[in-house]
């Protein structure tokens, strides 16, 4: 189908975008920087076309299978990366966010997954609302994860007094902390709403709030870590490496939640 072709072409754009970014880090060049940005923007446009085509063909937002969820996650994560680049010129994020989006897109293609058993029509909208909140929340947390990872790389290099060729391409520690925290606030809020709507849907559809499956356990563990980080940031003034480590831990748990859906 056409949207599959567009998705495959987008993957090439992902690869070229990161490849040109790596070359630009080694040998700074305006042409390489432009080639990287153009490739990633082209990949996002192709994915947008794939999402629109898939939506038209199916008559609904493509979220009712793990394949669709991962492809949509890939699209949103890359969109956030492009926003960070065009709005804040955070070039260092190109080494984290596009690879995350690329992996999500590839997994969405290669992992066979049955479609969800949708509830009655009057509940379907709430299910998509729940999935949409969760998806955008995880995408925002991907930005927080990227900034945390970059922070730790930058911090370690500075403390070791071993200048990296890549160091000049990375945002400052303060920028990483600030942008990462803003992304965390958005992601944590959306994830909280996603879990809350999931609880309501569980009661309406399955007549129970708690099933005790791995997905629920991991999602609550991730929320607990993020809630702890939220409290520590606002009440204890937690910053720096400890904040970055908590962000990465919570994000890893959130990603494992998706992994439990693999058949």
Task: For the chain, report the end-to-end CA distance as a whole number of angstroms.
Answer: 24
Return the sign of the alpha-carbon dihedral for residues 74, 79, 82, 88: negative
The segments of the chain whose pLDDT lies below 70 read: 1-4, 112-124, 161-169, 204-212, 260-263
Q: What is the pTM of this model?
A: 0.90
The pLDDT score that the predictor gives to residue 3 is 62
The pLDDT score that the predictor gives to residue 262 is 55
How many alpha carbons fall within 13 Å on the CB side of residue 163?
A: 3
The pLDDT score that the predictor gives to residue 122 is 47
Max intra-chain CA distance, the chain: 61
């Amino acid at each position: 189908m056409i949207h599959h072709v567009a998705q495959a072409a987008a993957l090439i754009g992902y690869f070229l975008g990161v490849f040109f970014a790596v070359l630009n880090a080694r040998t700074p060049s305006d042409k390489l920087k432009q080639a990287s940005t153009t490739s990633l923007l082209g990949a996002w446009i192709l994915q947008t076309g794939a999402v629109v085509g898939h939506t038209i063909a199916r008559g609904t937002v493509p979220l009712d299978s793990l394949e669709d969820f991962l492809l949509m996650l890939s699209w949103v994560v890359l969109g956030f990366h492009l926003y960070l680049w065009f709005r804040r010129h955070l070039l260092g994020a190109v080494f984290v966010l596009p690879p995350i989006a690329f992996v999500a897109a590839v997994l969405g293609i290669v992992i066979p997954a049955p479609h969800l058993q949708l509830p009655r029509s009057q509940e379907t909208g709430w299910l998509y609302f729940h999935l949409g909140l969760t998806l955008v929340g995880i995408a925002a947390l991907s930005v927080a994860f990227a900034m945390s990872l970059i922070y730790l790389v930058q911090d370690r290099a500075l403390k070791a007094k071993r200048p990296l060729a890549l160091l000049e391409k990375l945002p400052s520690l303060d920028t990483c902390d600030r942008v990462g925290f803003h992304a965390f606030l958005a992601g944590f809020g959306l994830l909280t709403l996603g879990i809350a709507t999931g609880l309501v849907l569980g009661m309406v559809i399955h007549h129970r709030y708690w099933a005790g499956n791995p997905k629920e356990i991991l999602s609550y563990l991730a929320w607990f870590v993020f809630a702890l980080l939220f409290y520590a940031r606002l009440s204890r003034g937690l910053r720096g490496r400890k904040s970055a480590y908590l962000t990465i831990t919570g994000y890893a748990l959130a990603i494992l939640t998706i992994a439990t859906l693999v058949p």
